[in-house]
Amino acid sequence: MKNFKKDIKLYTERFSLVALKPHQVELVYNYVTNNINHHKHAMPHRNKAFFSFELQKLILEEENELQKSLKMIRFYIFDKHKNNILGDIIINDIQRGYVASASIGVKIDKDSTRKGIAEECCKEVLSFIFNGLEIYRIEANILPKNIPSIKLFEKLGFTKEGISRGYFYTDGDWQDHLRYSLLKTD
């Protein structure tokens, strides 16, 4: 595995993907609060306190600690010419050794969907996972009603494996998810 001593940043033709620091919490706060309704079905149930500036800063601090040990990384997506968040891609459940796997999740800002952002950025993140983190298997769990995400991951070459029953609690119940995977050799 490569050594990541500096900030982790990735670039595509149109976008910068940046793991933000706690002093950049205002950007995250604006993104999260602007997308409360848009993202609520793709996230576990959150109470009102989750959307506070203070809690978003604590979450960003915790994520930075996890990033230092490469247990998870959240990339925020920026247009190269603007300073607002267009979405985020999280790599979590990073495993090493004989398992060498991770999970990936994607959210796009309500005003930025259907513009090819997720596909372009996911391609770069997948390359980073396989080549930078030296992960062999990536998994994505998707709500069956989230057709845009299903299409995205199928387009990226992921294979449907089955159902992750009761994967997480959202919309007042434990929701099943479709489990997709991509291997480095695919």
pLDDT in the model for residue 115: 94
Answer left, alpha or beta for residue 17, where phi above 0 means left and psi between -120 and 50 means alpha.
beta
pLDDT confidence band for 62 (50 / 70 / 90): very high
> Would 167 be classed as within a structural domain?
no
Q: Give the pLDDT mean for 87-115.
A: 94
pLDDT in the model for residue 43: 66
User: CA nearest 58: which of 7, 90, 28, 22?
Assistant: 22
> Would 186 be classed as within a structural domain?
no
> Would 160 be classed as within a structural domain?
no
**Would you say the C-alpha torsion 183, 76, 154, 38 has a positive or negative sign?**
positive
Q: What is the CATH number of the domain that holds 112?
A: 3.40.630.30
For 109, the token pair is 């800002």
Q: Which residue has the higher pLDDT, 54 or 116?
A: 116
pLDDT confidence band for 38 (50 / 70 / 90): low
> Would 146 be classed as within a structural domain?
no
> Would 151 be classed as within a structural domain?
no
- 56: domain range? 9-138
Collapse the DSSP code of 98 into the 3-class scheme (helix H, G, I; strand E, B; otherwise coil) and give the result.
coil
User: CA nearest 53: which of 32, 83, 74?
Assistant: 32
pLDDT in the model for residue 73: 96
pLDDT in the model for residue 32: 84
Residue 105: CA count within 13 A, CB half-sphere:
18
> For 114-172, how does the pLDDT look when each residue is reduced to its tens digit (9 = 90+)?
999 999 999 999 999 999 999 999 999 999 999 999 999 999 999 999 999 999 887 78
User: CA nearest 186: which of 151, 135, 117, 141?
Assistant: 135
Give how far Cα 132 sits from Cα of 70, 126, 127, 146, Å: 11, 9, 7, 29
Q: What is the pTM (predicted TM-score) of this model? A: 0.91
pLDDT in the model for residue 34: 76
pLDDT in the model for residue 42: 67
> Would 147 be classed as within a structural domain?
no
Number of domains in the chain: 1
